[in-house]
């Protein structure tokens, strides 16, 4: 959906909730994948995705278009839903494939081999939650820095700077392998 | 909470768009939205004067009926004092 068209659809949905359907149809799969990557279970992901859209619908009158895709705002709501769910859990496991980790591995100059991948996994696990979140959004979800900023409630420059700092920390953790 | 990461060559099984689409429930979303926005009762019953009077009458009637029933029961039973048995 083009930004200009998306803005018009959002305005229509703000005026009449019945016209939220195009946004729901367009972003359902994207948000479901985002949630499923973190929650793991299918039914749970469906519930959290549905809850995300309900919260978005209820908060839509307050939404202000900032020239960024609507999905960034949805990601933010979805993350809040996931955080609420994680409060009840003792451990959170994020399953990833090599293909998903490739952009991060390239950025860190690490080869896609079993040993290196395990080092990345343990390195990510050593990061603080807010640091890990930056890496997830940027490299696993493929968001732009502007979108990462919107999701985390910070500016684009701050998102870029923080991501580079986290990458430096991660490279240190990976140093023995490189 | 900081997650633990598990990285494997293939990763978790990828869901197809059709599998994800099966979880789509636009009707349910609208139902929940309307339930959240327009609750069945805008005012709690006890704050609505008419509902409050109706509830009061029902409660009073219930008390009255139970009182009458209790009285009738007492009248049916002669004032028999419990007898001691040896």
Whether B86 has a pLDDT exceeding 70, the answer reads no
The C-alpha angle B79, B84, B85, rounded to 5 degrees, equals: 130
Instruction: Give pLDDT tens digits for A55-110.
Output: 999 999 999 888 888 999 999 999 999 999 988 777 788 888 898 899 999 988 88
Q: Which of B2, B30, B37 sits opposite A127 (nearest CB)?
A: B2
Question: For testing the chain B interface, which of A19, A23, A32 should be mutated: the one with the most B CBs within 10 Å?
Answer: A32
Distance between CA atoms of A40 and A92, rounded to whole angstroms? Answer: 9
CB contact under 8 A, A125 and B4: yes
pTM of the predicted model as reported, rounded to 2 decimal places:
0.76
| Residues of chain A neighbouring B36 (CB-CB closer than 8 A) | 54, 58
| Residues of chain B neighbouring A57 (CB-CB closer than 8 A) | 29, 33
Lowest pLDDT segment from A122-126, B18-22, B34-38: B34-38
Chains A, B: CB contacts within 8 A come to 106
Instruction: Give pLDDT tens digits for A124-152.
Output: 999 998 999 999 999 999 999 999 999 99
**Within 13 Å, how many C-alpha atoms sit on residue B3's CB side?**
23
DSSP string, B32-58: HHHHHHS-S-SS-GGGSHHHHHHHHHH
Tell me whether B30 touches chain A (CB under 8 Å): yes
In this prediction the ipTM stands at 0.79
- Indicate the pLDDT class of residue A36, thresholds 50, 70 and 90: very high
CB contact under 8 A, B7 and A101: yes
Q: Which of B4, B7, B33 sits opposite A58 (nearest CB)?
A: B33
A108-116, long-range: CB within 8 Å, 24+ apart, which pairs?
Answer: A108/A167, A108/A170, A108/A171, A108/A174, A108/A178, A109/A171, A109/A178, A110/A174, A110/A177, A110/A178, A114/B9, A115/A177, A116/A174, A116/A177
**Token pair 């609505």 is at which residue?**
B48
Distance between CA atoms of B39 and B32, rounded to whole angstroms? Answer: 10
Q: Which of A57, A114, A129 sits opposite B1 (nearest CB)?
A: A129
Domains of chain A: 3-86 (1.10.1740.10), 98-177 (1.10.10.10)
| Residues of chain B neighbouring A17 (CB-CB closer than 8 A) | 30, 33, 37
Q: Please report the pLDDT score of residue A177 as a whole number.
A: 47
Q: How far is B17 from chain A (nearest CA, A)?
A: 7
């Amino acid at each position: 959906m083009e930004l200009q068209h998306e803005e018009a659809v959002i305005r229509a949905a703000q005026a009449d909730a019945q016209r939220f359907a195009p946004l729901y149809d367009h972003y359902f799969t994207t948000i479901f994948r985002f949630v499923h990557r973190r929650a793991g279970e299918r039914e749970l992901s469906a519930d959290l995705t549905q809850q995300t859209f309900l919260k978005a619908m209820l908060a839509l009158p307050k939404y202000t278009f900032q020239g960024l895709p609507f999905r960034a705002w949805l990601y933010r709501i979805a993350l809040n839903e996931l955080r609420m769910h994680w409060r009840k859990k003792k451990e959170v496991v994020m399953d990833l494939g090599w293909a998903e980790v490739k952009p991060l591995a390239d950025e860190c100059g690490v080869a896609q081999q079993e040993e290196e991948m395990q080092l990345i996994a343990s390195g990510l696990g050593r990061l603080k939650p807010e640091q890990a979140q930056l890496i997830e959004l940027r490299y696993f979800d493929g968001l732009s820095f502007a979108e990462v900023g919107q999701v985390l409630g910070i500016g684009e420059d701050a998102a870029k700077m923080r991501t580079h700092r986290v990458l430096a920390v991660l490279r240190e953790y990976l140093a023995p392998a490189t | 909470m900081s997650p633990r990461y598990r990285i494997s060559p293939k990763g978790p099984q990828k869901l197809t768009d059709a599998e994800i689409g099966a979880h789509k429930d636009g009707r349910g979303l609208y139902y929940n939205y309307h339930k959240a926005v327009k609750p069945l009762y805008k005012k709690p019953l006890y704050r609505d004067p008419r509902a409050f009077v109706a509830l009061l009458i029902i409660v009073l009637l219930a008390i009255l009926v139970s009182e009458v029933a209790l009285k009738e029961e007492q009248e049916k039973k002669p004032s028999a004092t419990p007898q001691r048995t040896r």
